[in-house]
Structure 1
Amino acid sequence: MLTNYLKIAWRTLRKQRGFAFINIFGLAIGLACCLLIMLYVLDELSYDRYNAHADRIYRVQSDIKFGSNDMHFATTADPLGPTLKKDYPQVEQFVRLHQRGNWLVKKAGEATNIRENDITFADSTVFDVFTLPFVAGDPKRALTEPNTVVISESAAKRHFGNQNALGQTLVFANKENYKVTGIMRDMPQNSHFRSDFFVTMLSDNYPWGQWLSNNHHTYIRLRQGSDPTAFSQNFDAVVEKYVGPQLLQMTGSTMEQFRKANNQMKFWLIPITDIHLHSKQQVELAPNGDIQYVYIFSAVALFILIIACINFMNLATARSSSRAREVGVRKVMGSERQQLVSQFMTESVLTTILAMGLALVIVAVALPGFNSIAAKAISLSQLMSPTLLPLLIILPIIVGLLAGSYPAFFLSSFQPIAVLKGRTNTSFRTVSLRSGLVVFQFMMSVVLIVGTIIVYRQLTYIQTTSLGFNRDHILTVNDLYSMGKQGEAFKQEVLHLPGVVSGSLSGYLPTPSDRNSTVFFPEGQTNLNKGISVQNWGVDYDYVKTLGIQVVSGRGFSQTFGSDSSGILLNEAAVKILGFSQPIGKHVWRFDDAEGKIRKTYTIIGVVKNFHFESLRRNIGALSLVLDANPGAASFRVSSTNLPGLMQQIESTWKQLAPGQPFSYKFMDDSFDEMYRAEQRIGTIALTFAALAILIACLGLFGLAAFMAEQRTKEIGVRKVLGASVPSLIGLLSKDFLKLVIIAILIASPLAWYAMNQWLSDFAYKIDIEWWMFALAGAVAIGIALLTVSFQSVKAALMNPVKSLRSE
């Protein structure tokens, strides 16, 4: 029986090639979108699960409220990991990571460096906590001695080619030699951090034992059966026992006084598998994802699939008249309704299986582009994984049964006498279910259109809003430390080039770069509630001028004032928190050593206008600028009409002063855009899927228009005989669809407003959601719907009335 059903189904599809193509193509697009989004979602959910003990690995995070500052760090104090291992038997192992970031690295004996971006100081236990397989060396001993490093296979290839890297020497920053004691496989892409170089923590020049500093990422592995929630209750005791004495030594205040001043220090655990999607702390090792995008895209995948199924239903029922006589003849010949249902369901499943085959082809073609947009490395082989393969087999059957259920029962319900006489009782005004399905299709399409408009408006706002400094035409040259003492000479040489307006030496920039926070107190104050946490940047005399930062009170740094070495510039936010009405000439101080014995006092010489030095997701915080040599980078404001020629001159100057060192640069505009690369990717993906959802919805509308035209053929013939014009008939046939789209817009608008309002809540600085965004989305939906319907409407209106009436 099944073989017979399949033969008839295949013959029907071949006979109705146009109808079959539209049906299969619509389903294929929907299934392809669903598969791509499933691959994306599963990749996002797979982060850090490659670790053998992922279910027992946690990162310790810290929340600190100090005065008016509320800080949430992914880092903790350096002694925390060893202390937890020593004091609590539940902690099986710990590891601390201290991200170094960029460094110039070369093979010993070579003259040319390679700029490496992923360098991390780590305890020797890093390979015990994380699952990082070795291809050479002993992971238990690799980082147990000073000046040792473990590198990835890719790094070994870059520096040593086909030579054996084990035991070789690498030179870091042109001065520090490290012995390669291990080679590990490249870290997986689905890790919340990546590193090509793990340098032993024994070589990290850090003032150890600072319970009041937060500079290390601390991970612990709990013993089997340990309850992380119960274990977290020990953190209060740790703070009391270890942080309290150091706080008392440095400030003269006890932990009780600290808390009474409405301050707090709290540690808590986050599972390693939750970091990528759920952690929004400061000082992350790498930019994280966001669980809301997983929810959004999962919903989009479901809706697109539902839209595709709706199309199938509408297109199948639109062909009802052409198959009504077939049903009547079959029933007269003795076919039971159950057999007819089985026949139509077989056709539906076969159509879906063919659509799945086409969908796999579409996925294979689209995957490289999708990876590029989404910054992923998803392979087609992941569809064959134990998670997806069963779904790949079951999905077309489920979709086929769901999409074909209504048409099957609808077609099989025809009464043989009625249909053989040409009466199917399926006038357009009775198809409320199909109308509801079309409303749902366009409702989701409008939500996607509104979402895309708002995402792009927010991105445009970010790129065009005033940041409080001028980021245009600023060139940043990296790794200035590789020149040694030649940094100032390089700056002066470049300043003499035509087209260079000004220049500054500082690694602290209002883009992703170095950060340094400290606590300042007003002069005469030791009350902890009066201290403020401030970003403290070391800059030179020309920093404010080069970046176009506005001084609103006092003055900037000047070489004519010898006392500026103890001067300080504060931004408006810092002055407000300190409570100074007349800040110029006032003094602030901070601890200048780890033990809290030395204090350094600064005189406020100027106040700069607030400018955004972090993402627009955050409010502008307190910032201070002090004179301090920090030759991490050189920034130049340029105004050359021949930028390529100027770049060649700057590179030539670099090579003269730093032979063998790579010339690495970036324009500040590009660095700024990197902070919002995730939103740009999301916007592009949203636009793509919105367009596809609209395309699929249009196919459904096309089917419903065909159904309407088919059902009203004789009515149109009568109207034409009575003198109706073609435009009036087109209007008559289109107004019903216009009503459906308008209903969809009215339902979609509040839904889109709520969803996008939630998305914008992550930004401290954001656009307002305005009425015209919904009007534009509605106009687009109406225009697309009318264009889709017009083909069938014009075709029906132009039909010869004699022919249509003769079909009676």
Structure 2
Amino acid sequence: MIRNLIKTAFRSLLKNRTFTILNVLGLTLGLAACLLIVFYIADELSYDNYNTKADRIYRVNTDFKYNDVTTSYAIVAPPVAAALKHDFPEIEQAARLTPSANTRVKKGDENLQEYKVVYSDPAIFSIFTLPFIAGDAATALKEPHTVVINETTALKYFGSTNVIGRSLTLINDSTDYKVTGVMHDMPIQSHFNFDFFLSMASNPRSTDNNFNHFNYQTYILLKPDANPQRLEAKFGNFMKLHLNTSTFNYDKFASNGNFIRLNLTPLKDIHLHSNRQRELGVNGDISYIYIFGAIALFILLIACINFMNLSTARSANRAREVGVRKVLGSPRIYLIYQFLAESILITLFAAVLALLLAWVLLHSFNEVAGKNLTVTSHNTVYLLPALLVIVIIVGVIAGSYPAFFLSAFKPVNVLNGKLTGLRGGGLRSALIVFQFAITIFLIIGTLTIYNQLNYIQNKNLGFDRNHVLIVKNVNLLEDPNILKAEVKKLSGVIDASVTGFLPTADNRQPANISGEHSSSAPFMSELWEVDADYLGTLGMNLVSGRNFSDKMKTDSAGILINETAAKMLGYMGNNILNKKVFYTDRAGLKHEYQVLGVVKDFNFNSLRDNITPLAMILAPDFRASLNIRIESGNIKALMTQVEKKWNTVSANQRFEYSFMDQDFDTLYRTEQRTGDIFLSFTFLAILIACLGLFGLAACTAEQRSKEIGIRKILGANVARITTLLTKDFIRLVIVAIVIASPLAWLAMQHWLQGFAYRQEFSWWILLIAGLGAILIAVITVSFQSIKVAVANPIKSLRRE
């Protein structure tokens, strides 16, 4: 029986090649898109799952509120890790990480820049699953000036992984670090990824006992029976106990609604659910998982709808077949099996083609999504069974209505030609509306994302990021100011500044700032070390006061603050000029500064976040870069001159650079990739919907060929007939626009809420999406309509 069903189904599909091709093509595109998105979602959901103790690992965070401004950090104070482990028996282990910025490592006569370097407590290897190739993980980082490197780094510097006891020289502190461990490369699916783990004992700041300084990523491993919610509830008393000191009254601070709170983030939630300041990497967003999952489902539904629509539209052509089969004694159940067999056969063939298409497109998809997805034996173990299940489900869903609808035809009515009401027109109309509602939703979503990205690109951020050349690693020079002075002499250079604190960089330095009044509670601020040319180079403006000056030696005791910091200190306008501001360093020493000026607020974090307090002092930055504002003329020639100056003062260092506008774009790479993915799958959804609409238009034109022939004989022209065949489809698209527009508006408003600075949803987006959908439908249907309208009416009437 099964063999006969397959043979009959195969013959039927070959007989109707056009509709079979349209169905196979639509399902192939839908399944291929679904497979790519499933790959993407599976990769995003797998972050940090490589850790065998992942369910017991938590990151400790800090939430800080002062004067109605709340800031969320992924870091805590240096002594928190040890204090938590001491105070709470639920905690089995605690470890800290703090990245080492701009690290240079000596390799022969060359100094190589390394970006994945971190100071780490020894317990990190007992918390995270980081297998060693050589060395003892339990003791590897206990001694000062020891380092654990990964396999790739060992091969890069030594050509072997058998390097225990050998040394690496870090140029930053001119110290040799003994290699005490070599571990396997960390999985890409990790929220942090480092090549060098330096011993925390090598970091002179690691012994800071101040609970007001937040600068360490801290992880805890709970005991198997520990309850994280109960533990987190105890953190309020923990912070109160450790923050009430002789210099800071936490009770008074909290009485005004302010707080400094610790909380926990489960390890598996960090990548998709955490967007705090000072994250160790660029995290994903769970909302995008939902969005892309919905897109995959919608595209698959559109492909299934095409199948159902085309099958029911062909009901008149297959009605006599059903009637004859029933007269000859074929039971209805056999007919249902027959139609389902055809559906599953088409889906199976489409699935094979979809696998090949997804494999071909995987490289391009990786480039768009910023992923490194590959087809491996590991993912094929679940992919092939999952695909088989999808084939059966999609085949049954796509073929269910045609199977039950066509098999229900009464043979007497069919053979007498009484097919009125048997063509499923109402359902087809509803499905077309559903298809185009999804398509319009995706068009609106794509336009909204690109509108927001365009707003980000053109927003006045409070500084000018255009035509700023950033020469990196000048901190390795004996005196970076010599290079600065030489570069400023070049024609085409407007200004230059030496500092690593840039609005588009990740170089940050949190600090506690307080005012001169006893009632002024300290608050968390950024403290940047800059030079007197900083504001001019970056095009920043002063609201009041003056800039630093190299000619005034007393400016070393001066400070510039932004408008937000001035408000936090309780001052407005010129009232803050010459007032005292205090900064407490990591050693607990209090430094006094005098306010010289207030800088107009500028965005130095993502536009997802509000502007936070910031202060600048006149001091050299050991992580510096040389930032050069250049004219927009012959940039290539000027860069050649800058490189010559670099080679003159630095013989053994590579000339590395970037442009500030490019660095700014990287801050929004996730949004750009999301927009590209949205655009790609929106185009795919439109293409699949058009395939279905094209088939329906052809079927409708074929069924109405006699009517069209009569109309042409009675004098109807091509334009009138084309309008007649097109208008019904346009009405359905308009209904889809009415349904999709408010839903898309609500969804995009929710997405835009994730940005502190955003472009309001524009009415023209709905207009363009609606007109675009109508135009797409008109072009798709008109092709078939015009083809039928210009045909010889005698041929269609002769067939009747």
Both structures adopt the same fold (TM-score exceeding 0.5): yes
1:288 is paired with a residue whose SS is coil
Q: How far apart, CA to CA, are the structure 2 residues paired with 1:46 and 1:306?
A: 26
2:461–2:603: 8 Å Cα contact kept in structure 1? yes
Question: Which residue in 1 is equivalent to 2:608?
Answer: 617
Q: How far apart, CA to CA, are the structure 2 residues paired with 1:401 and 1:50?
A: 37
Question: Which residue in 2 is equivalent to 1:411?
Answer: 406
1:498–1:640: 8 Å Cα contact kept in structure 2? no
1:78–1:211: 8 Å Cα contact kept in structure 2? yes
Cα distance, 1:489–1:78 mapped onto 2, change above 3 Å = same
State yes or no: 1:352 paired with 2:344: no
Question: Which residue in 2 is equivalent to 1:50?
Answer: 50
C-alpha offsets along residues 83-115 of structure 1, whole Å, 9 cap, x if unaligned?
2222322111111111113311123xx110111
- Which of 553, 569, 572 aligns to 2:560? It is 569
Q: How far apart, CA to CA, are the structure 2 residues paired with 1:79 and 1:386?
A: 46
Q: How far apart, CA to CA, are the structure 2 residues paired with 1:532 and 1:208?
A: 18
- Which of 476, 481, 496 aligns to 1:482? It is 476
How do residues 216-235 of structure 1 correspond to structure 2 at under 5 angstroms?
Answer: 216-235=216-235
1:250 is paired with a residue whose SS is coil
Question: Which residue in 2 is equivalent to 1:249?
Answer: 246
Q: How far apart, CA to CA, are the structure 1 residues paired with 2:513 and 2:222?
A: 38
C-alpha offsets along residues 235-257 of structure 1, whole Å, 9 cap, x if unaligned?
1232233232xxx2223x2x322
- Which of 388, 392, 402 aligns to 2:383? It is 388
Letter in 2 for 1:13: L
How do residues 57-68 of structure 1 correspond to structure 2 at under 5 angstroms?
Answer: 57-68=57-68
C-alpha offsets along residues 596-654 of structure 1, whole Å, 9 cap, x if unaligned?
4x432222222222222221112222222211111511100112633223222222222
Q: CA deviation at 1:693?
A: 0.4
Question: Which residue in 1 is equivalent to 2:438?
Answer: 444
In structure 1, stretches of 5+ residues that fail to align are none
Letter in 1 for 2:145: N
Letter in 2 for 1:497: L
Question: Which residue in 2 is equivalent to 1:95?
Answer: 95
1:98–1:216: 8 Å Cα contact kept in structure 2? yes
1:640–1:646: 8 Å Cα contact kept in structure 2? no
2:684 is paired with a residue whose SS is helix
C-alpha offsets along residues 441-494 of structure 1, whole Å, 9 cap, x if unaligned?
00010010011111101101111111111111101111111113x211111121
Q: How far apart, CA to CA, are the structure 2 residues paired with 1:794 and 1:161?
A: 70
1:554–1:584: 8 Å Cα contact kept in structure 2? no
State yes or no: 1:759 paired with 2:751: yes
Q: How far apart, CA to CA, are the structure 2 residues paired with 1:583 and 1:506?
A: 29
1:59–1:220: 8 Å Cα contact kept in structure 2? yes
Question: Which residue in 1 is equivalent to 2:730?
Answer: 738
Q: How far apart, CA to CA, are the structure 2 residues paired with 1:387 and 1:266?
A: 43
1:104–1:116: 8 Å Cα contact kept in structure 2? yes
Letter in 1 for 2:204: N
1:28–1:358: 8 Å Cα contact kept in structure 2? yes
Q: CA deviation at 1:431?
A: 0.7
1:701–1:788: 8 Å Cα contact kept in structure 2? yes
Q: CA deviation at 1:655?
A: 2.3
1:101 is paired with a residue whose SS is coil
Q: CA deviation at 1:121?
A: 0.6
Letter in 2 for 1:344: F
Q: How far apart, CA to CA, are the structure 2 residues paired with 1:307 and 1:289?
A: 28
How do residues 447-466 of structure 1 correspond to structure 2 at under 5 angstroms?
Answer: 447-466=441-460
Q: CA deviation at 1:560?
A: 3.0
Q: Which moved more, 1:208-217 or 1:9-18?
A: 9-18
Q: How far apart, CA to CA, are the structure 1 residues paired with 2:547 and 2:728?
A: 69
1:69–1:532: 8 Å Cα contact kept in structure 2? no
Q: Which moved more, 1:796-805 or 1:723-732?
A: 796-805
2:22–2:692: 8 Å Cα contact kept in structure 1? no
2:98–2:118: 8 Å Cα contact kept in structure 1? yes
2:115 is paired with a residue whose SS is strand
1:515 is paired with a residue whose SS is coil
State yes or no: 1:197 paired with 2:178: no
C-alpha offsets along residues 649-681 of structure 1, whole Å, 9 cap, x if unaligned?
222222221222222211000111111000000
1:131 is paired with a residue whose SS is coil
State yes or no: 1:654 paired with 2:646: yes
Question: Which residue in 1 is equivalent to 2:495?
Answer: 502
Letter in 2 for 1:184: M
Aligned residues, how many?
796
- TM-score calculated relative to the size of structure 1: 0.96
Question: Which residue in 2 is equivalent to 1:178?
Answer: 177
1:575–1:583: 8 Å Cα contact kept in structure 2? no
Q: How far apart, CA to CA, are the structure 1 residues paired with 2:332 and 2:755?
A: 58
Q: How far apart, CA to CA, are the structure 1 residues paired with 2:576 and 2:128?
A: 52
State yes or no: 1:41 paired with 2:41: yes
State yes or no: 1:143 paired with 2:123: no
1:380 is paired with a residue whose SS is coil
1:328–1:417: 8 Å Cα contact kept in structure 2? yes
How do residues 331-370 of structure 1 correspond to structure 2 at under 5 angstroms?
Answer: 331-370=326-365
Q: CA deviation at 1:386?
A: 4.7
Letter in 1 for 2:608: R
Q: Which moved more, 1:137-146 or 1:325-334?
A: 325-334
Q: How far apart, CA to CA, are the structure 1 residues paired with 2:194 and 2:418?
A: 72
2:409–2:422: 8 Å Cα contact kept in structure 1? no
Question: Which residue in 2 is equivalent to 1:432?
Answer: 426
Q: How far apart, CA to CA, are the structure 1 residues paired with 2:382 and 2:269?
A: 20
The share of aligned pairs that are identical, in percent, is 47
Q: CA deviation at 1:162?
A: 4.1
State yes or no: 1:535 paired with 2:526: yes
C-alpha offsets along residues 263-315 of structure 1, whole Å, 9 cap, x if unaligned?
21211111100011111221111111111001111111111111000001111
Question: Which residue in 2 is equivalent to 1:642?
Answer: 634
Cα distance, 1:379–1:34 mapped onto 2, change above 3 Å = same
- Which of 318, 325, 331 aligns to 1:323? It is 318
Q: How far apart, CA to CA, are the structure 1 residues paired with 2:164 and 2:369?
A: 36
Question: Which residue in 1 is equivalent to 2:19?
Answer: 19
- Which of 116, 122, 131 aligns to 1:118? It is 116
Q: CA deviation at 1:595?
A: 5.8
Question: Which residue in 2 is equivalent to 1:4?
Answer: 4
Question: Which residue in 2 is equivalent to 1:699?
Answer: 691
Q: How far apart, CA to CA, are the structure 2 residues paired with 1:192 and 1:709?
A: 56
2:246 is paired with a residue whose SS is helix
Q: CA deviation at 1:761?
A: 0.5
Q: How far apart, CA to CA, are the structure 2 residues paired with 1:677 and 1:384?
A: 27
Q: CA deviation at 1:573?
A: 2.4
State yes or no: 1:553 paired with 2:541: no
1:64 is paired with a residue whose SS is strand
Q: How far apart, CA to CA, are the structure 1 residues paired with 2:397 and 2:242?
A: 62
Q: How far apart, CA to CA, are the structure 1 residues paired with 2:525 and 2:261?
A: 20
Q: CA deviation at 1:225?
A: 2.0
Q: Which moved more, 1:387-396 or 1:160-169?
A: 160-169
2:212–2:512: 8 Å Cα contact kept in structure 1? no
Q: CA deviation at 1:594?
A: 4.3
Letter in 1 for 2:279: E
Q: How far apart, CA to CA, are the structure 2 residues paired with 1:476 and 1:389?
A: 49
Q: Pairwise CA RMSD of aligned residues?
A: 1.8
State yes or no: 1:472 paired with 2:466: yes
Q: CA deviation at 1:350?
A: 0.6
2:213–2:512: 8 Å Cα contact kept in structure 1? no
1:249 is paired with a residue whose SS is coil
1:559 is paired with a residue whose SS is coil
Q: How far apart, CA to CA, are the structure 1 residues paired with 2:580 and 2:53?
A: 48
Letter in 1 for 2:561: L
Q: CA deviation at 1:117?
A: 0.8
Q: Which moved more, 1:577-586 or 1:465-474?
A: 577-586
Letter in 2 for 1:36: L
Question: Which residue in 1 is equivalent to 2:580?
Answer: 588
Q: How far apart, CA to CA, are the structure 1 residues paired with 2:221 and 2:621?
A: 38
1:476–1:636: 8 Å Cα contact kept in structure 2? yes
Q: CA deviation at 1:697?
A: 0.7
2:508–2:526: 8 Å Cα contact kept in structure 1? yes
1:504–1:542: 8 Å Cα contact kept in structure 2? yes
